[in-house]
């Protein structure tokens, strides 16, 4: 099964699982998805993830995080899409909810949050926003 936007598919699976109150979510594995999940885990938006074998293909099983019954991720949206790439310099990095949310960027130094990109003084492609 091929997707035109694999990262957007993963974000939609997470969003749908949170709306249904699920504790876990399964998505096909890829390097970019794994790196984005690393950032989400480091920033505390998910409990973690593990790689599992499902139907002969590698998949990620994502442990979603809740606080007092409500999801920790209130909003997760794709910014840069296959039809319209969005790039940002370090000076014009977006602030999500006045610093309470994060933007995940793909930079020459790897995939990182906007806070880490400011510390490393690098810009890049804005993949998604999480709050």
Q: How confident is the model at residue 2 (pLDDT cuts 50, 70, 90)?
A: low
Q: Which two tokens stand for residue 35?
A: 């790196």
**How many domains in the chain?**
1
Residue 30 counted as domain residue: yes
For residue 120, the enclosing domain spans 6-130
Residue 55: predicted pLDDT: 86
Residue 41 counted as domain residue: yes
Residue 1 counted as domain residue: no
Determine whether 8 is exposed, middle or buried from the number of CB atoms within 10 Å of its CB (0-12, 13-18, 19+). middle
Residue 71 counted as domain residue: yes
Residue 122 counted as domain residue: yes
Q: What is the pTM of this model?
A: 0.95
Residue 44 counted as domain residue: yes
* Chain segment 52-80, per-residue pLDDT in tens: 998 899 999 999 999 999 999 999 999 99
The CATH code of the domain that includes 109 is: 3.30.1490.10
Cβ-Cβ contacts under 8 Å for 83 (sequence gap 6 or more)? none
């Amino acid at each position: 099964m091929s997707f035109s936007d694999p990262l957007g598919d993963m974000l939609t699976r997470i969003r749908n699982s949170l709306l249904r109150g699920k504790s876990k979510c399964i998505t096909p594995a890829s390097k970019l998805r794994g790196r984005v999940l690393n950032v989400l885990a480091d920033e505390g938006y998910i409990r973690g993830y593990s790689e599992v074998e499902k139907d002969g293909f590698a998949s990620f099983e994502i442990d979603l995080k809740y606080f007092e019954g409500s999801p920790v991720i209130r909003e997760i949206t794709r910014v840069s899409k296959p039809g319209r790439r969005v790039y940002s310099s370090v000076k014009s990095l977006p602030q999500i909810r006045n610093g309470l949310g994060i933007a995940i960027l793909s930079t020459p130094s790897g995939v990182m949050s906007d806070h880490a990109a400011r510390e490393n003084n690098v810009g890049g492609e804005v993949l998604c926003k999480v709050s």
